[in-house]
Amino acid sequence: MIPSPGFPAHPCDGRVSVGPSWKDAPYPVLVLDPSGAVLDANPPARLLLTDRHGGGGPPDVVPSWLTDAHRSVTDTTGTTPAGPSAAGEIGDRFFEAHPSRLEDGSVMWWLVDGTGRRRAETSLQSVREQARTRALVSSTLLSSLNVPRCAEVAAQLAAEHLADAALVVLPPVGRRYPVTHAVRGGPAVHASRQFDPRAVAGLVEALQGFPPVPTRWIDPGSLPGWVVPKGFDRPVGSVIITPLPGHGVSAGALILLRSSTERAFSPDEEAFARLFAARAGAALSAARLYSEQSAITTTLMRDLLPPTLESLHGVEYAGRYRAASDHERVGGDFYDVHPGADASKETFVVLGDVAGKGLEAAVLTGKIRNTLHALLPLASDHEQVLTLLNGALLSSHHTRFATLVLASVRREGHRVRLRVTSAGHMPPLIIRADGRVEEAATHGTLVGALPSVSVRTAEEVLAPGETCLLYTDGITEARGGPLGDELFGEDRLRQALVECAGMPGDAIVERVQMLAAQWLGRGRHDDMATLAVSAPRTVPTADVVGVGGPHGRNT
């Protein structure tokens, strides 16, 4: 502030004498008596007080905020504060009031125009608030890869920070549009609506990803009823409709509503709404892409996952599978059970181990399982099945091989008869009712590596309560123990199976997997698969009577 000629440098100096010099000051200056009446004013002050109501204001009436500040100063004894005692608006401008006590008890008020600084501070605060909102939007929206949840969060954040109500309109599913709407302070609500988007100005363009229609082109009174959500009980004053840009295609549209009692959307708020919509669109697009990929993965994975086993034709089947990595669901180990047409037909069982692990091994696993499924009409001849499978693997682009165990199972009275063939795999172990553990007398060469296969098939009979266990080397080669470097081994497996004599098949496979997991601790491991074929202790009468052939009678 440049002091007027003959005026003290500090306006708060109590020795200021009212003279003609202060009237030349560039700031509005008022002199008020102790009661608050205007004693004098310089030309800028008179012009300000006259123009504060559009040119009709009396020049001797000060604003209420200045009157209150004057009363506070005159009621207080002592030194007048050095800084401004009050601040407020006069017309469309913002002033800070600096008081100076005079000897006669009156107070001179210097009004310093702070409109520019006030607007700059307000703008800075708005920018900071928008930055906080953008950060909140990004962190909140991107934390969810679920499309409905993402739309719910977008609608709630928009209603809280941008408008009084918000609607997220997603691309149509058939003839219906998923719509999520929220009113400030309320929950988000999902709905599926059938409507004509042409009834809302700018909505068709927004859903197609075109730039938003200017707000001034949208008549709030022309909005159809579905746009105004339940709970928004005031007339709509202004509307913003902006696209939700996605990855290459539009992710939907965002509709913002503000009531007629609130100020209309400013150009800055429209620009911020577009920034908000860009982040929301990116999050929705990412969530939709994840959902589509997840659905595709689930569909493709369905045929790779091990089947759920149960009792078939009077024989109990149980299986457990654990992939090499806890975050994976499939790998190189597999098992399948293909039931016979009826109780007189053999059920075809296969358990295999493909070299390697992870997704690449799972792809070859799927090919082997599909090939074996196609060879089911030949399943009674294990050697022929393995020969044909070997040829199919040798002719493929895969360089991996596999080991397999095939079993043909049929109920004969109270007993279960098996024909078991190993192709480069560990022979199955049979848990007898008296606790003995026997190894099936089968062996053979692996498939997918040599021009031909050579196998030997063994025949076994299970008495009631006995189980044949098929397993992969992920069990016996599980490395762990006290020092973490010792294999679980076949001896420990056999000892564990001795203790499982008489147990149901599902309990046996569960215990074997549990013991192997405990032996591993937190160490790395290969895929582990176990499959149990058991002869039940008790058999329903229908299963016994329904068995045909020369062995149909009870034995």
CATH code at position 481:
3.60.40.10
- What is the DSSP-derived secondary structure letter of residue 173? B
Phi-psi region of 309 (alpha: psi -120 to 50; beta: other; left: phi over 0): beta
Determine, yes or no, domain membership for 550.
no
Q: Which residue has the tokens 């669901």?
A: 329
% pLDDT > 70, the chain: 87
Same domain, 371 and 324: yes
- Rounded distance between C-alpha atoms, residue 23 and residue 464, angstroms: 117
CB 32 within 8 A of CB 109: yes
At residue 399 the predicted structure's pLDDT band, cuts being 50, 70 and 90, is low
Same domain, 154 and 237: yes
Last residue of a domain, one of 298, 317, 339: 298
Last residue of a domain, one of 238, 269, 298: 298
Determine, yes or no, domain membership for 464.
yes
What are 446-483's pLDDT values in tens digits? Answer: 999 899 999 999 999 999 999 999 999 999 999 888 88
Determine, yes or no, domain membership for 171.
yes
Where helices occur in 375-454 by DSSP H, the ranges are: 382-394
Same domain, 456 and 406: yes
- Rounded distance between C-alpha atoms, residue 242 and residue 383, angstroms: 67
Q: State the average pLDDT over residues 240-263.
A: 89
Determine, yes or no, domain membership for 11.
no
Q: Residue 226: give the domain boundaries.
A: 143-298
Determine, yes or no, domain membership for 46.
yes
Same domain, 98 and 158: no
Same domain, 213 and 85: no
Last residue of a domain, one of 298, 326, 358: 298
243 pLDDT above the threshold of 70: yes
Determine, yes or no, domain membership for 160.
yes
- Rounded distance between C-alpha atoms, residue 419 and residue 130, angstroms: 73
70 pLDDT above the threshold of 90: no
pTM of the model: 0.59
Determine, yes or no, domain membership for 4.
no
pLDDT value for 36: 86
Domain total for the chain?
3
Same domain, 342 and 449: yes
Determine, yes or no, domain membership for 196.
yes
Same domain, 289 and 319: no
Q: CATH number, domain at 168? A: 3.30.450.40
Same domain, 251 and 394: no
What are 170-204's pLDDT values in tens digits? Answer: 999 989 999 999 999 889 999 999 999 999 989 99
Same domain, 449 and 409: yes
What would the two tokens of residue 137 be? 């939007």
Same domain, 208 and 250: yes
- Rounded distance between C-alpha atoms, residue 330 and residue 88, angstroms: 71
Same domain, 175 and 237: yes
Same domain, 266 and 161: yes
